[in-house]
Amino acid sequence: MSTAIEPAVTAPAATRLTALDAFRGAAMLLMVLVNNGGGPRSYGQLEHSDWNGWTLTDTVFPSFLWIVGVAITLSLGKRLQQGIAPSSLIPQIVRRAVILYLLGFALYLAPSFDLSHSRFLGVLQRIAICYLLASLLYLYTGIRVQLAAIVGLFLVYTALMFYGPVPGFGHGDLSVQGNFAHYVDSIVLGAHNYVHTKTWDPEGIVSTLPAIATAILGIMAGHLLRLNWTLTKKILWLAAIGIALICAAQVCNIWMPINKKLWSCSFTLLMAGLDFLVLALSLWFVDELGFKKIVKPLVIVGMNSIAVYLASEVLSEILDDIHTTAGASLHGLIYNRFYAPYASAENASLLWALSFVLLMYLLAYALYKKGIFWRI
């Protein structure tokens, strides 16, 4: 069980925060946008950073994973407060994690269904792993242990990256080919790596360690939201913590560069800091000032985020894998007929991505109107 800190300071019945659903919806729509560029060239901020540094695109996945951590605290915390034993919650947690993992595995397995080269790790698989471990940590530990877990994950990850030997590169090499995470993925995953890199995975084994810390940092925000404080005080503390984490990321960046593909410690701190700030701003705008109607479209998407993600990935695969008699993909045929002739390469690619976003919103809206909310 959690320590006595929680029941002493949490509100007896927390109301659902519209801002959190809106934040989740915004993160999901942004994920659809950046994952579905139409043409060969996109605006720089709609692409991942080549290596060190970060772009808007690099903020999407860690934000979604951080929100998972927030949701863990709000959902499981409420049940623990109702007197439900932690052990009785484990089957549901494991079930959700397994389903998420299998859905992610199936996405990468299709359409060839080649098990010998299928990708074991990926976006949904990482969410599943982080959700499972962060949930168990939340159920059986208190805030101090959870904070210690973040530090411990950072220390283990840093030790591996700086002192793990890589043949031909030595140790402490953080280049694309010479880093320890790449070396581990090439050995353990082998042919099951990400198709675009072949020898390593941006959601690989070693980088999952700080990714778990991202989810736990979300849990920390959830703890703050459950405190019996005024909303204004919560917003100020979220903002203060966000600024502190961003400053810590800049210090960490001195010896470990901000890098999404490695999910470096500095990257983890920076992204969590931005998430704390965005949530603070969202709470102020939506729940404090009351501008809930404006963000209603984002809330609608946030309430069916997994369904939207899966639909966007499946549609993208269908468009890429169905070919005409002339050999062109359906994606290429539509793009070259209705998008490429009417705008620059970057704008045409953006318009295609925005079309995807609109389709996914319409799907979420249809589900919302029918009262269908797909929860795992």
CA dist 70 and 124 (Å) reads 17
**Amino acid symbol at 285:** F
Which of 55-64, 104-113, 216-225, 334-343 shows the lowest per-residue confidence on average (mean pLDDT)?
104-113
The closest alpha carbon to 33, from 21, 46, 19, 48, belongs to 46
pLDDT in tens, 159-197: 999 999 999 899 999 998 899 999 999 888 877 777 766
> 315-337 burial string, b = 16+ CB within 10 Å, else e?
beeebeeeeeeeeeeebbebbee
SS3 content of the chain, % helix, strand, coil (to 5): 70, 0, 30
**What does pTM read for this prediction?**
0.90
CA dist 55 and 260 (Å) reads 9
Q: Within 10 Å of residue 109's Cβ, how many Cβ atoms?
A: 15
Give burial (CB, 10 Å; 0-12/13-18/19+) of 368.
Answer: middle
The pLDDT of residue 12 is 36
pLDDT in tens, 256-313: 999 999 999 999 999 999 999 999 999 999 989 989 999 999 999 999 998 999 999 9
DSSP code per residue over 95-107:
HHHHHHHHHHHHH
What is the average pLDDT score of the chain?
Answer: 89
The closest alpha carbon to 153, from 276, 263, 261, 2, belongs to 263
DSSP β-bridge partners for residue 53: 259
Domain residue spans of the chain: 5-369
CA dist 271 and 183 (Å) reads 25
Confidence of residue 110 (pLDDT cuts 50, 70, 90): confident
Average pLDDT over residues 204-232: 95
Average pLDDT over residues 40-69: 92
Average pLDDT over residues 349-370: 94
Task: Compute CA distances 160 → 48, 58, 165, 171, whole Å.
Answer: 24, 23, 9, 9
Q: Give the torsion sign (CA, 261, 265, 270, 273).
A: positive
